[in-house]
Amino acid sequence: MQLTNIVTMERMTFSDAPCSIARSLDVLGDWWNPLILRECLYGVHRFKDMQHWLGIGRNIITRRLSLLVEQGLLDKRQYQEKPDRYEYHLTEKGYDAALVLVAVMTFGEKWYFERGQEPIQLYDRDTGISVSPVIVDADTGKPIDIRRLYAGPGPSFPEDIEIGKEWFS
The residue-averaged pLDDT of 19-45 equals 92
Q: What residues contact residue 40 under an 8 Å CB cut-off, 6+ apart? A: 74, 88, 89, 90, 94
Predicted confidence at residue 23, as pLDDT, reads: 87
Question: What is the pTM assigned to this prediction?
Answer: 0.82
Which residue(s) pair with 46 in the sheet?
A: 87
DSSP state of 136: B
Residue 13 has pLDDT above 60, yes or no: yes
Please check whether residue 45 is in contact with residue 88, taking contact to mean a CB–CB distance below 8 angstroms.
yes
Contact by Cβ (8 Å): 98, 70: no
- What average pLDDT does this structure show over 21-30? 89
